[in-house]
Amino acid sequence: MIERYTTKKRKGLFSDESRFNEYLNVELASLQGWSEIGVVPQEDVDLIRKNAHVNVKRISEIEAITKHDVIAFTRQISETLGEEKRWVHYGLTSTDVVDTSLSCLYKKANEIILEDLNTLREKVKDKALEYKRTPCIGRTHGRHAEVTSFGLKWANYYDELNRGIDAFISASKEVEVCKLSGALGNWADIDPRVQEIAAKELGLSSALIATQVLSRDRHEHYAASRAVLASTEEKIATEIRNLSRTEIQEVEEGFSKGQKGSSAMPQKRNPISSENVTGCARRMRGYLLPILEDNALYHERDISHSSVERVALIDRIELFDYRTERLTRIIDNLVVFPQNRRKNISLTHGAIYSSRVLSLLIAKGWSREKAYDTIQPYARIALQQGKDFHELISNDSSIRSMATDKEIDFCFDNSYYLRNRDYIYSRLNLS
């Protein structure tokens, strides 16, 4: 991942230095298992734990000859040891180390991601509560529909994030797995107890079965869970972008001191952060397809998945957390324009209340068809000529014969549309 999209909290987490140190941690956990079942002397394990250290430069030098990064790693580690080096990589195959170390890195990354997702969810929750009783125009097909609550927009995002986070937690557990079962996964050269002991030491679950590799359906589910969350984050960003249009301008991204919007147009304040979140979501989806193709390997394993995972899996983690952090800042610094919300509600000259008049007339005894055909022309006049829809309706003698002034007036009361807010919020445990 390029520096621009790397978060401070995870900077270096997937570096070569970090990766090889996780290799070493897996090797040490394996040796501890061998020791506890009485195969490797504990004093040798202690010596290896004390003296073994990673030298990335030396590993690269050896790999240039061996063309195998795990062999290069084990030989570099052995160079730091005495006779006890014979136990390094004992009973293991390369993928035991690679897959299990990747699980360890996932575990560290997942803790950071979950913390950031929870922060995002809290910011969304705050907005849902702050604007619970704030009317705004709802739009379907990009057109004004009926009045809703600005808070309900955020409540819906909150509910969606809850599902996404639950799915992420479940998928995270599936990739935080220890696999130390040898060349074909049948524990021919390693005692199954070693995996159980190592898994506990590393804080991972223990794979029930594997081939030479952990089945990649785990990674597919993991990647898909983040793709779904990314779509929710993009959904929020897209709404902010749309509500930031000059013609709408109900919200605006925060603008820091000294910030510029355009090199040519000083008046511009562009929703660049929301656009960035959207663009990053495209990359997330683009990376998903090759990951979904990584499970169907030849027989017990080939390495066609390796080149994908070295880029796509790692970049998606970095990119996802970057997007989450950036969206959280957008929401936290969001500027809201209540006067524009009120103005936008009135743009149709009351035509948005036509469905309420329709329901009133049906309740009074008219057929749906008669009521609809009577109201629709008045709605068009209001929209096209700027005439007051309330006045047009009130002046129709056939409608006046069916409804009182009070009943007609109530059709234009915004509180009607928001009367079930408390009920909806209670369903979401939003308080």
Burial state string for 392-405 with b = 16 or more CB within 10 A and e = fewer than 16? bbeebeebeebbee
Give the per-residue pLDDT at 1. 59
* List of long-range contacts for 336-343, beta carbons under 8 Å, 24+ apart: 336/131, 336/150, 336/250, 336/251, 337/249, 337/250, 337/251, 337/252, 338/134, 340/248, 340/249, 340/250, 341/134, 341/135, 341/136, 341/137, 341/150, 341/250, 342/135
Q: Are residues 233 and 300 in the same domain?
A: yes
Asked whether residue 264 is assigned to any structural domain, the reply reads no
pTM of this prediction exceeds 0.95: no
Q: How many CA atoms lie within 13 A of 174 on its CB side?
A: 16
Choose the final residue of a domain: 287, 306, 336.
336
User: In this structure, are 286 and 404 located in the same domain?
Assistant: no
Residue 258 belongs to a domain: no
* Residues known to be catalytic: 141, 262
From residue 290, alpha-carbon distances to 56, 168, 311, 412 in Å are 29, 20, 11, 53
pLDDT of res. 339: 95
pLDDT at residue 310 in the model: 86
Domain termination residue (choose one: 306, 336, 366): 336
**What is the residue type of 225?**
S
User: The domain spanning residue 120 has which CATH number?
Assistant: 1.20.200.10
Residues 235 and 355 in one domain: no
The confidence score (pLDDT) of residue 316 equals: 85
349 within domain boundaries? yes
175, part of any domain: yes
Look up the domain containing 305 and give its range: 7-138+149-251+269-336
Number of domains present in the structure of the chain: 2
Last residue of a domain, one of 285, 316, 336: 336
Residue pair 287/316 in contact by the 8 Å Cβ criterion:
yes
Q: Which long-range contacts (CB under 8 A, 24 or more apart) does 223-226 make?
A: 223/287, 223/288, 223/291, 223/292, 223/312, 223/313, 223/316, 224/171, 224/288, 224/292, 225/164, 225/167, 225/168, 225/170, 225/171, 225/172, 226/168, 226/171, 226/284, 226/316, 226/317, 226/320
Res 265: pLDDT: 79
Tell me what pLDDT residue 2 has: 65
Consecutive 10-residue averages of pLDDT for the chain (431 residues): 68 90 98 98 97 98 97 98 97 97 96 96 98 96 96 98 97 97 96 98 98 95 94 96 96 84 78 93 90 92 90 86 93 95 96 96 96 96 96 95 94 95 96 84
For residue 413, tell me if it sits in a domain.
yes
Which of 198, 186, 260, 257 lies closest to 37, judged by CA? 198
